[in-house]
Amino acid sequence: MQKKTMALLMSLMLLLALALTGCGGDKKEAPKKAESKVLRVGTNAAFAPFEFQDEKTKEYAGFDMDLIRAVGKQLGMEVQIANMSFDGLIPALDAGNIDAAVSGMTITEERGKKVNFTKPYYTSGLSILVKKDNETIKDVKDLEGKKLAVQIGTTGAIEAKKVKNATVREFNEASEAFMELRNGGVDAVLNDLPVNEYYLVQGGKDVAKTAGKPLTSEHYGIATAKKNTELAGKIDQAIEALKKNGEYEKIYVKWFGRKP
């Protein structure tokens, strides 16, 4: 009888020891008490089909918005979306006002010094939009000396500033750059190709068209604060899971009408 009790005690202690080492060795599995269950997302919601506000419901819609909501679900976090200026996103990450910037943001070396990026989640690039009846701009060379509209703080703005003798007008929203082209205030818009294409399909083709070939190839990433080294990795894992379970493809097809 006593032997049995001893054996029981010892196996209990062994179990306890195992459980303890198990916890210590696998920190990822042990949820931290302070871990936030809210994912504060910043975006510039005038960039369809990636992020925009539904006219009727005022809800945030688009590929990025569906993707980050699916990521949130995957991570067991509630996604809260805040609309802000595109050039305010990185400062907002720095200040700790948001946890992630999901805004069709191109992964660049320069930005990589200030934030952590996830792995690329979408392949994009820049294209040129001109007025429908424009016959003089057929290539990036033809932009020299012209008036260009871009969104402030974007890769489009960076490219536009490389064009010789061009006058670059920077707008807070990409949609305002489109408006300026429509109004005849500029000769061309330099902006992300899928956004330009969406604009044309949504009615823009009555006044505008694409000129020449895409200027760049770019990859979008989700940005997190430099200090927050964990979150980008967690989002990567979540996106990986969404790719495996078909959810990523579903969202992609919903917004782009074809498989990734």
Nearest to ligand ARG of 44, 74 (CB atom):
44
Nearest to ligand ARG of 83, 134 (CB atom):
83
* Residue where the block lists tokens 């402030």: 152
Nearest to ligand ARG of 22, 47 (CB atom):
47
Nearest to ligand ARG of 84, 241 (CB atom):
84
Tell me the closest approach of the beta carbon of residue 200 to ligand ARG, in angstroms: 17
CB-CB neighbours of 187 under 10 Å: 22
Tell me the closest approach of the beta carbon of residue 51 to ligand ARG, in angstroms: 5
CA–CA distances in Å: residue 3 to residues 9, 11, 16: 10, 12, 20
Report CA 5 to chain centroid distance, whole Å: 60
Residue 181 backbone class (left: φ over 0; alpha: ψ -120 to 50; beta: rest):
alpha
Nearest to ligand ARG of 104, 204 (CB atom):
104
Tokens describing residue 32: 């931290």
Tell me the closest approach of the beta carbon of residue 211 to ligand ARG, in angstroms: 19
Tell me the closest approach of the beta carbon of residue 94 to ligand ARG, in angstroms: 17
Tell me the closest approach of the beta carbon of residue 37 to ligand ARG, in angstroms: 26
Binding interface with ligand ARG (CB under 6 A): 44, 47, 51, 86, 103-106, 151, 154-155, 174, 192
Query: Across the beta sheet with 38-43, what order do the strands follow?
Result: 78-83, 38-43, 100-101, 223-225, 115-117
